[in-house]
Amino acid sequence: MITTQALNGKSRVRHGFFTREGGVSEGLFASLNCGFGSGDNPDHITANRSLAMRRLGLEGDDLVTLFQVHSDDVAVVDKPWKPGQAPRADAAVTRRPGIALGILTADCAPVLLADGEAGVIGAAHAGWRGALAGIVEATVEAMCAIGAERGRIGVAVGPCIQQDSYEVGAELRAEYLSASALSGDFFRPSDRDGHFMFDLPGYLGRCLDGLGLRLVEGSDEDTCADESRFFSYRRATRRREKDYGRGLAAIVLTG
């Protein structure tokens, strides 16, 4: 489990970006696969989620995750739901202690946020579509709507696909440039004509830096390149594997 200085200093807040290690799943899903959207044995996934929550001092039922759809929609969480009842959204915020907000990723960026003084936390799933749509900005707005203050919010962007692994087509770059010409800073030409290498965490960092937050911390861990520690959709696709696991990031208020 990976933790960050941006959130470690927050009173009443526990968090973790979990690697794929330490679970019970096998094969393509070995071993801490926490995503019910995969084809893994559901009993293994349930056990893995419980194992992860124990690292945070919680039970498996305390974890809520979303039906992630690459949007800018944010759910306000007042009580836990069962996995099959998850809302279609890509971020969640809460003031309720004891509810772990979870994000599932396999190359997209998990983003955890906290204002420990106000007792408000958030978690967001940011792939290229969600990042462009403004999911991190929407999450901060939702946190402030329930009592957080921007100048007290600490943010950690967890392990995700890094620029050296993330080749994209010209169409994706054009979408970013149509939103802002400054987005060109996050694309460099690849070895293939008409393709570019995209810096997703760099783009998210710039978005977050412009929000007036207390502290923003990134990660240089590459989920696609590090097979021993992370699941990766892109790596699985390149190998024509039929499925892939999902890694978990989670944050919870204590007390």
Arithmetic mean of pLDDT, 176-196: 97
Predicted local distance difference test score (pLDDT) of residue 9 = 78
Predicted local distance difference test score (pLDDT) of residue 203 = 98
Q: At what angle do helices 200-209 and 135-145 cross, to 10 degrees?
A: 40
Token code pair at residue 234:
């892109």
83 has a pLDDT exceeding 90: no
Q: What percent of the chain has pLDDT over 90?
A: 97
Predicted local distance difference test score (pLDDT) of residue 232 = 98
Which residues is 111 bridged to in the sheet?
124, 157
235 has a pLDDT exceeding 80: yes
Token code pair at residue 181:
């010409």
Arithmetic mean of pLDDT, 1-9: 93
User: What's the mean per-residue pLDDT of the chain?
Assistant: 97
Predicted local distance difference test score (pLDDT) of residue 74 = 98
Biggest distance spanned by C-alpha atoms of the chain: 55
Q: Mind listing the pLDDT tens digit for each residue in 35-66?
A: 999 999 999 999 999 999 999 999 999 999 99
Q: Mind listing the pLDDT tens digit for each residue in 111-156?
A: 999 999 999 999 999 999 999 999 999 999 999 999 999 999 999 9
Predicted local distance difference test score (pLDDT) of residue 68 = 98
84 has a pLDDT exceeding 90: no
DSSP letters for the chain = -B--HHHHTSTTEEEEE--S-S----GGG-S----TTSSS-HHHHHHHHHHHHHHTT--GGGEE--B--SSS-EEEPSS---GGG--B-SEEEE--TTPEEEEEESSSEEEEEEETTTTEEEEEEE-HHHHHHTHHHHHHHHHHHTT--GGG-EEEE-SB--GGG-EEEHHHHHHHHHH-GGGGGGEEE-SSTTEEEE-HHHHHHHHHHTTT-SEEE----BTTT-TTT---HHHHHHTT-S----EEEEEEE--
Arithmetic mean of pLDDT, 72-80: 97
Arithmetic mean of pLDDT, 223-229: 98
State pTM to two decimals.
Answer: 0.98
11 has a pLDDT exceeding 90: no
Predicted local distance difference test score (pLDDT) of residue 117 = 95
For domain 5-162+199-253, which architecture applies? 4-Layer Sandwich (3.60)
Arithmetic mean of pLDDT, 177-196: 97
